[in-house]
Amino acid sequence: MTIRVMLVDDHNSMRAGLALVLASDPGIEVVDEAGSGPEAVARAVRSRPDLVLMDVEMPGGDGITATDALLRLVPETRVLILTMFDLDDYVADAMQAGACGFILKTADAEELIAAVHACAAGETVLATEVLHRVVTHFVQHHRDARRPGLERLTERELEVLVLMCRGQSNLEIAQQLVVEVATVKSHVAHVLHKLAARDRLQAVVYAYRAGLTDTCN
């Protein structure tokens, strides 16, 4: 199935470059573009893209506010934040607004395409440059959250969690463990269920809080 993507950035040249990169993957189709947050929300309601690549800082409306508004109106759409900034506040706010991931504009073509596929498949994607920072932010602001213990995980599930901590996608984990992607998805689902985590990010945060920091690095 083709992933229908909307590009949101206030620079025409940036959108053109992104479109060119994504066009190299036959499984991705750019179906719409917007130059501001409010325009993105309005156009997404009409075009219903599967995924939106959303810039953060734009004249006329920032990407975080747009993400929150867009997902309220088109909840089935996924939003991947794309920006030059790797500040903690941007990352935390983006995830709290409902974004499925955060990737820097400096990412190479292969990393960008992989992030689009991962987000569209329901995964949470965080660039390796910002993974530790966002986890640290959530750990500091959610110290009182109670979760079941890691002892509920099997040895394989714990291994998968460690690889999740390193920012690896399901495909990367499958390649490292030499198993099928479907098997990894099953392990991830079990990890989330046993840790009462809403998504991969919450599971990673719990792993850090539970003392797996050294293992995950």
| Range with the poorest average pLDDT among 78-87, 93-102, 143-152, 204-213 | 143-152
Distance, in Å, from the CA atom of 110 to the CA atom of 186, rounded to the nearest integer, reads 25
pLDDT in tens, 65-97: 999 999 999 999 999 998 776 555 677 677 778
The confidence score (pLDDT) of residue 144 equals: 47
Phi, then psi, of 205 in degrees rounded to 5: -60, -45
Q: Which of 40, 34, 29 is nearest to 14 (CA)?
A: 34
Q: Which of 12, 56, 53, 4 is nearest to 35 (CA)?
A: 12
The confidence score (pLDDT) of residue 76 equals: 94
Distance, in Å, from the CA atom of 167 to the CA atom of 170, rounded to the nearest integer, reads 10
Q: What is the pTM of this model?
A: 0.71
DSSP annotation of 2 reads P
Q: Predicted confidence band at 214 (pLDDT cuts at 50, 70, 90)?
A: low
Q: Is the pLDDT of residue 136 over 70?
A: no
Q: Average pLDDT of 143-171?
A: 80
The confidence score (pLDDT) of residue 98 equals: 87
**Matching residue, tokens 């800082």:** 57
Of 97 and 157, the one with more pLDDT: 157
